[in-house]
Structure 1
Amino acid sequence: MTVTSSQEWSTRTFGNESRLPRVPLPTLEDSCEKFLAWCGPLLTPDELAVTENAVAAFLHEGGLARKLQAELERYNSSDGVESWLDTFWPYRYLGRRDRIALNANFFFLFAASGQSQIERAAGLIAGAVGYKRKLDDELIPPIIQRGQALSMAQNKFLFSATRIPGEVLDTVRAPYSDAEPGPSTARHIVVFCRGNMIRMDVLGPDGVPYDLDDLSAGLEAVKKAAANENPVGDAVGHLTTKARAEWAASRQSLIALDPANAEALDTIETALFCVCLEDFAPRDTQQACDELLYGDRGNRWFDKAVSFVVFEDGNAGINVEHCGLDGTTILSFVDTLLNGAPEEHSAASGATSQGLPAIEPVDFVLDEALRADVTAAAEAFAAYGAATATTTVSFEDFGTNQAKALGSSPDAFAQLAYQLAHKRSKGFTGATYESIATRQYQNGRTEAMRVVTPEVLAFVSTMDDPGADREAKKAAFHEAARRHVARAKECQAGQVPEQHLWELQLIHRRQGGEEPLALYETPGWLKMRDDYLSTSSAPSEHIQYFGFGSTSTQCIGVAYVLLPDRWNIYLSTPLPVADEMHQFAAKLTEAVLELQALLS
């Protein structure tokens, strides 16, 4: 990868996109070799042999895989294509057919502010509108990391971006697109309160932001207008919790029933973002996290890219639709919003007092069939949320500073602690996913890292070997940590197999191919991608907790905020394996203390 001097990078938000290096396209041989190395630790000798035979057939000269690779190479060199993953990402996210609520959207719980609900919401709106104004003029500074500019393309999905359900594949309605070139021209947001939806202007007729007092007055007016709880059957936001094809059918029914419904959808879809005002205060941090992940009561539009959720006590967070936005982009956005007083953000945006912002209810025309549909969606999602178990784990006196002092990469320490806890709680080492950011490339997003290596297996085995002394355990830890860091660097460099092989499979499907590809039915492919732990990190001093749902029936979602002096983790899993999750949490606490003592 060619590294440009940081002094040469453009200071405009999107000024470096075309100058970033392209994501490397691996060869078939490289990906297959790495695939076998990645899946091997999870397989029995017989399973590995079956997988190796399928890989050998996959690599056969003149075979289908060679044709798919050639097709991908042609695509990668086509005009207008910036990455061989440009088609992969839409199919990965927009192609999923289950619910995105809880299953795909993620959340951040912000640090407490001590503000009232109205003050907090007004401050978040002011900060977000100020961010948009700077983004429109490309004045958000591009991120430069270790001398390398990162892609800022995801920022185009922060405002007025909405996922639209489809029968086979979803789409995205967003600015900076062929349909809507350039920044969003919307001047409004949608505020949810007690299941009611209310449009509120946040920019005046001339595009100047309303000041904090105006925004506060507007939010008070919204709460007054939404004093009565909207009946469940009328709270159309519930429909966004449905599986995608079912929601697509419901959306078509809405549009067909009355033209007013198309106008209401347009208001929501073009809104800069949503603000969800809750009429209760969570009893504790875990409930706040749960409400941010899958709280409802018709008070969400899960298809919206960005929804701020503000509780009655002023605590707040964000729920994010994942198809165009990854955690690193949202962290930068949130850090900007929360770094500085609302008054500073408002003044910097050029906000002026303009009186009470225009507010207007967003009403849908519903018949009995649609009311029944909304009610059924509400009941089904309530049951789905109740079938999810969650908990939090917090280390108030351990963070990256302590890990480094112990001679370990902080992320390697965290991942090895997870592996040790999983082995002790479930009796085996299972497939583990970790997302690795790759924004140094054009349209770069993330790579899939598989954590379990032979060194990890040796480490967890040595830790529970009564014959292993302290030095043997330390050596096993450091060897596994070194391998973890090396693999993470391979992922950052795009030298990894999973997304490459997955895209070849998707090309085959998109072409309507019926010829079977045995590799994708092997124990190696199926076991490597059947997560027992799905992990991701979001480090920010402005974030208390980060969270997402599990990815399979036996998976524990592990979302963690690892900072210099603390480490907060939110765990989620299907209810049938709740006991295993709580056991994992307990074993994790023990493992962290044990590893600290071992390495001291």
Structure 2
Amino acid sequence: MAEAHQAVAFQFTVTPDGIDLQLSHEALKQIYLSGLRSWKKKLARLKNSFITGVYPASPSSWLFVVIAIMGTLYARVDPSMGMIGKIKEHLPLSSYLSHQGQSILSALLFATALWFALIMTMRFILKQLLSYHGWMYEQHGKMSAVTKLWLTFVKIFSGRKPMLYSYQAALPRLPVPGIKETMQRYLESVRPLMNDEEFKRMTALAKDFELKLAPKLQWYLKLKSWWAANYVSDWWEEYIYLRGRSPIMVNSNYYAMDFLYVTPTPVQVARAGNTVHAILLYRRKVTREELKPSRVPGSIIPLCSAQWERTFNTTRIPGLETDTIQHYADSKHIVVYHKGRFFRVSVYHGGRLLNPKELELQFQHILNDSSLPQPGEEKLAALTAGERTTWAKARKSYFRSGKNLQSLDLVEKAAFFVTLQDDEEGLRTEDPVNSLDAYAKSLLHGKCYDRWFDKSFTFVVFKNGKVGLNAEHSWADAPIIGHMWESVLATDSFQLGYDDDGHCKGQVEPTLPLPQRIQWDISEECQEIIQNSLNVAQALANDVDFHTFPFKEFGKGLIKKCKTSPDAFIQIALQLAHFRDKGKFCLTYEASMTRLFREGRTETVRSCTVESSNFVKSMMAASSTNEERLKLFRLAAEKHQMLYRNAMTGAGIDRHLFCLYVVSKYLGVDSPFLKEVLSEPWRLSTSQTPIQQTELFDLVNHPEYVSCGGGFGPVADDGYGVSYIIVGENLINFHISCKVSSHETDSHRFGNHIRLALHDILALFKVDKS
């Protein structure tokens, strides 16, 4: 085989005259180039670490400080107030240096120490500045003098040309809210969900907890907040994600879709070639820290970028009691799944990335390969879709040695996982409803064995050129994968492009090694376990009812004419739709981010409020006038915006209560209040997918290049999961999930209620739709 021959650096034969070595110059060249690339990457990481470590100063500023100090010495002025002389007295090398040399070295050491002191001072001031969040609570479009002055200082101390992780050390720690404030906000959030007797009982439980147990738990939590970078994130990752023993498919993983109306090429391997190359270009930017630091949209305020680190070369490893996240510094290959076979595809050759045309030929070779799956290979990935403990036991028993260990190692160390589907998905104009629903379900769970659900993400390319991905949730939140996805779609369509026949552009290196089949030796006992995991996963997948639809009647543009927040508008519409759907209110989860703080992840906005429920009741009451309803809507919208701001600035409810509960478990004490709070089901779980790089898409001149967004599975057995993305000025895409087995839910029925609620609320404003 050609690839096997090229992998050998030299051959030798034994002759009567001795050993004859036959060196392969091409193989040695590839070894040299690969090593050169590795060393370049190590040096680049070292340089980036230093630049980030001294931010907001720059390495060149050290030279400026040194020259300034040396200049003052030359002018016979001592800016160190005697410290240079003290350093000179204690120099260990003084006997080897002249008097002038000692003076220069002492001044150099003082200048360096002064430079580091200035860096720490600037960083401390910037951290204090970023701890101010008063700007978030000001009226939209109006900025106070205090905020203007604050922004000026932020610009001064933010430094120039920041890299991806430059702001990390300057971000403030997430504050621990006060117990009294959290109890008050919690009781306020559950008031519309309880009758008077239930609320009185819960108030008594909360008061008892606040006075007796809470102060002790709070003390430990504050101690952790002083010591750790973030008092929530590590426990959130471990207890919410990694310790879960149920399948992560549907229950945790989420998906992202392609463009809604456009497919840049119908050639599957060409689309795979361009998009995989675009993903690898993005990975290179992450590795080199060339991405701009994440910021609050439309501002200079930095957000935490820590989650980007594990986007690639990352795998969730199953354990008996808890999983772990394994991140590798680098990976030179991807793993491709097609018709039950696993292939290793190298993404480097000659020290460079494969270009799109070369990747297209690699994928075409896989499609042309007519070999059959090995016993147990086709449905092997079902292990990652089933119960976690089952997978952990199987991994320990059947994948710890020999061929299986090496093959599993290839999968887990891959940059990411790719699936070449043999079916077609996407929007079909003749059947838009069912086609989008099927597309969503395919990305969410597929066949339950054609995605490696443990990888940071599985990239899916369908037969008709449509693409999508399925992302594992523990390593990061959706905005991180969303940022990559925006960049990939834009790079594919607007930078790389295709030739007239729909194939990738570029030339192919003739010595390119071909993809390699990954070999497995899966016993019959292991195959039975795989089948059992598949049965569990298929039962879960078959129970998912999904409805994805574009709402095109109006969007952000018209909502802004109502002088209200688009997110608040949609969230209140969801409350109205849910009440019409079920005839009752429910505990509602809206995801908000806490990345204004170091290592921040998410917080919950409890969207079902007293104000929103009062508005919904007015909409259901025939006796209410539109003027009364509009007034109640504005109160509900203001309340929602306040809750969102509180969540973003560390004054949320749920992460605080969660961490108090974790501390109580470590201390071995039970709290009836915390136990009840954390067992309450989220029957309406919602999330907005933000568009973070609007500059990549010109929706005015190219309105067809709109994203369809992504979605997730239902959180509660009798509840709904709703994801939405606001695209441009005139489109909102919704993704609704629930369970077929629930008699209370129906995704299509709920979708109709959402459409009606949006129209009914807009009608209250009587805005000009032209």
What is the TM-score normalised by the length of structure 1?
0.92
Q: Residue 377 of structure 2 contacts residue 520 of structure 2 at CA under 8 Å; is this kept in 1? A: no
Alignment of 1:434-473 (within 5 A): 434-473=590-629
What are the equivalent positions in structure 2 for 1:22-421 lying under 5 Å apart? 22-60=173-211, 63-78=212-227, 81-91=228-238, 92-111=240-259, 112-115=262-265, 116-145=267-296, 146-175=299-328, 184-204=329-349, 206=351, 208-225=352-369, 228=372, 234-256=378-400, 258-282=401-425, 284-296=435-447, 298-341=449-492, 344=495, 353-355=508-510, 356-421=512-577
* CA 1:263–1:595: 2 relative to 1, 3 Å: same
Structure 1 counterpart SS, 2:574 = helix
8 Å Cα contact 2:233-2:600 kept in structure 1: no
Going from structure 1 to structure 2, the CA distance change for 1:554 and 1:481 (only over 3 Å counts) comes to same
SS in 2 for 1:217: helix
Larger-gyration structure (1/2): 2
Residue 293 of structure 2 aligns to a residue in which SS?
Answer: coil
Aligned with 1:2 (options 104, 129, 139):
129
Aligned residue for 1:544, secondary structure, equals: coil
Aligned to 1:586: 752
Shift in Å at residue 167 of structure 1?
A: 1.2
Among candidates 630, 637, 640, match of residue 481 of structure 1: 637
1:548 corresponds to which residue?
712
Q: State the partner residue of 2:672.
A: 518
**Equivalent in the alignment of 2:738:** 573
Tell me, in whole angstroms, the C-alpha distance in 1 between the residues paired with 2:376 and 2:738. Answer: 27
Contact residue 106 and residue 547 of structure 1 kept, 8 A: yes
Question: How far apart, CA to CA, are the structure 1 residues paired with 2:519 and 2:436?
Answer: 33
SS in structure 1 of the partner of residue 674 of structure 2: helix
SS in 1 for 2:185: helix
CA deviation map 1:114-144 (0-9, x unaligned) = 3121111111111111111122211111123
Deviation for aligned residue 1:498:
0.9
Aligned match of 1:181: none
CA RMSD of aligned residues (A): 2.1
- The CA deviation at 1:89 is 2.3
Q: Secondary structure at the match of 1:496?
A: coil
The Cα of 1:274 is off from its aligned counterpart by 0.9
Q: What's the CA shift string for 1:95-122, capped at 9, x where partnerless?
A: 2121101110011101033312111111
**1:584 alignment partner AA:** F
Q: Which whole-Å deviations, capped at 9, do the CAs of 1:230-258 have from their partners, x for residues lacking one?
A: 666643111001121121111112224x4
Secondary structure at the aligned position of 2:236 is classed as helix
Per-residue CA distance 1:136-162 (angstroms, 9 max, x = gap) = 211111123222111111111111110
More off after superposition, 554-563 vs 34-43: 34-43
Distance in 2 of aligned mates of 1:225 and 1:343: 32
Cα distance in 2 for residues equivalent to 1:297 and 1:464: 42
Asked if 2 retains the 8 angstrom alpha-carbon contact of 1:2 and 1:21, the reply is no
Rounded Cα–Cα distance in structure 2 between residues aligned with 1:535 and 1:309: 25
* Range 334-343 or range 383-392, more displaced: 334-343
C-alpha separation in 2, matches of 1:570 and 1:588: 11
Change (3 A) 1:125 1:342: farther
Structure 1 residues 532, 343: CA separation in 2 closer, same or farther (over 3 Å shift)?
closer
Task: Give CA-to-partner distance per residue, 1:268-304, whole Å, 9 cap, x none.
Answer: 1110011111001027222111100010252110000
| Stretch moving more, 421-430 or 399-408 | 399-408
- Give the residue type in structure 1 aligned to 2:255: F
Residue 40 of structure 1 and its aligned partner are, at CA, apart by 2.0
Could you tell me how far apart the structure 1 residues matched to 2:575 and 2:615 are?
9
**Cα displacement string for residues 415-450 of structure 1 (whole angstroms, at most 9, x for unaligned residues):** 111111111111011111000122221011111111
- How much does 1:229 deviate? 5.8
1:6 Cα deviation from its structure 2 partner? 4.3
**Distance (Å, rounded) in 2 between the aligned partners of 1:272 and 1:114:** 25
User: For residue 178 of structure 1, what is the aligned residue in structure 2?
Assistant: none
- How far apart are the structure 2 equivalents of 1:297 and 1:567? 29
- Mapped to 2, the partners of 1:26 and 1:353 lie a distance apart of 59
Q: Work out whether residues 268 and 464 of structure 2, in 8 Å CA contact, stay in contact via their aligned partners in 1.
A: yes
- CA 1:163 to 1:385, structure 2 compared with 1: closer, same or farther past 3 Å? same
The number of equivalent residue pairs is: 578
SS of alignment partner, residue 77 of structure 1: helix
- In the superposition, relative to structure 1, how do residues 27 and 214 fare at CA in structure 2: closer, same or farther (>3 Å)? same
Q: Distance in 2 between matches of 1:18 and 1:151?
A: 10
Inter-partner Cα distance in structure 2 for 1:489 and 1:95: 30
SS at match of 2:250: coil
Using a 3 Å threshold, how does the CA distance of structure 1 residues 226 and 488 change in structure 2: closer, same or farther? farther
Q: Sort the Cα spacing of 1:352 and 1:40 in 2 relative to 1 into closer, same or farther, 3 A.
A: farther
Q: Which has the larger displacement, 485-494 or 587-596?
A: 587-596
TM-superposed CA distance for 1:406, in Å, is 2.1
Q: Larger RCO: Structure 1 or Structure 2 (Cα < 8 Å, ≥ 6 residues apart)?
A: 1
The answer to which of 461-470 and 114-123 deviates more is 114-123
- In structure 2, stretches of 5+ residues that fail to align are 1-127, 131-152, 429-434, 499-505, 692-704
2:307–2:480 CA contact under 8 A, matched in 1: yes
Identity, in percent, stands at 26
Q: 1:376 to 1:12 in 2, by over 3 A?
A: same
Structure 1 residues 481-512: Cα deviation after superposition (integer angstroms, max 9, x where no partner): 11111111111111012111111111222x2x
Conserved? CA contact 1:412–1:481, under 8 Å:
yes
Name the CA shift for 1:212/1:233 in 2 (closer, same or farther; >3 Å). Answer: closer
Q: Quick check: 1:29–1:59 contact (8 Å CA) kept in 2?
A: yes
- Distance of 1:388 and 1:77 partners within structure 2: 43
Verify the 8 A CA contact 1:438 1:445 in the aligned structure 2.
yes
